[in-house]
Amino acid sequence: MGALGFDFSIFWEAARGVLAGQSPYATQGFFSPFPFLMPIIPFGLLPYQVAFTLWTLVNLISLVFLARRRTHMALIFLPVFFALWVGQVDLMIIALAFTGTWWGLALATLKPQLAIWLVPFFVLRWWQQGERRRILLLCSAVVLLYAGPTLVMPSWWGSWMESAPSVFVYSEHASSLFGVSALLSGAVPTFVPFAAVAAGIVVVLIVVRPFTDQTYWNWAAIFNPVANIYSQCILVTQIDWIAVGLSWILLPLSLYLHSGLPWVLVPAYLLWRASRLHDADAMQMA
């Protein structure tokens, strides 16, 4: 499961390094873009225990905003429990995006692994609604968000690229369909054709049965090549007790296989449940 606050301790140490005039990439395990640290730097001014307590409080507020009546259930959903335990930022990033505002989505780009799914979803919705101004404000905010820290430390782009693991490394440990890489020899050569097949499947599914908001996030959880366990926090608006129980059953299986592949069963179950509910509603309307 990892040590309590393990991921947050990396963010905190990197923020402390910036306050001391050092590069955040001198902190072992820090792979995020430099602008990611801007909202975290105030936490670096505090003692670690105080900072982690406040960080956890913000995480819990984000969870309540997302899960609402499912909060009690979400607290023991393993991906959420794990995110809170290690002090990850996914709940906050998802909550910011789900405000539905241009500034919230702009801040969500501070974690690119999530932004690649969040930004297209909301931008496409705004485009269909004729909200061109929101899209323009989003783009402007992202430019400013990344330009400011670049003026302070122009070299961060190169340091980030050098320190960040490649998508191939991520995919070997992905808690998604790409977790199959851990079970195959020569994972990097198999990544490209596997990604192409996965993308083709998604396109076919969109054409055959258009996505709803909920199914979009399930397919994202299944096909995300850089997913971790806590990436499934995106599913908290849909979970039920079966999904919660399934998440804990999958933990020993994933550890035994040394692969995140079993985690696709959670979004797969939610897709199956949504399909059953859709078919039941269709029969009632017939």
Task: Give CA–CA dist 249/242, Å, rounded.
Answer: 10
Q: Which two tokens stand for residue 167?
A: 């998508």
Per-residue tokens: 96: 């910011």
CA distance 175 to 190: 17
**Cβ-Cβ contacts under 8 Å for 117 (sequence gap 6 or more):** 217, 220, 224, 234
User: Is residue 85 within 8 Å of 60, Cβ to Cβ?
Assistant: no
Query: Taking the mean position of all CA atoms in its chain, how far away is CA 13?
Result: 22
For residue 210, the model assigns a pLDDT of 53
Query: What are the tokens at 260?
Result: 């995140």
The one-digit pLDDT tens for each residue of the chain (286 residues) are 668 999 999 999 999 999 999 999 999 999 999 999 999 999 999 999 999 999 999 999 999 999 999 999 999 999 999 999 999 999 999 999 999 999 999 999 999 989 999 999 999 889 989 999 999 999 999 999 999 999 988 999 999 988 887 766 676 778 988 888 777 765 555 555 666 666 666 555 555 555 578 888 998 898 888 889 999 999 999 999 999 999 999 999 999 988 898 999 999 999 899 887 655 554 454 5
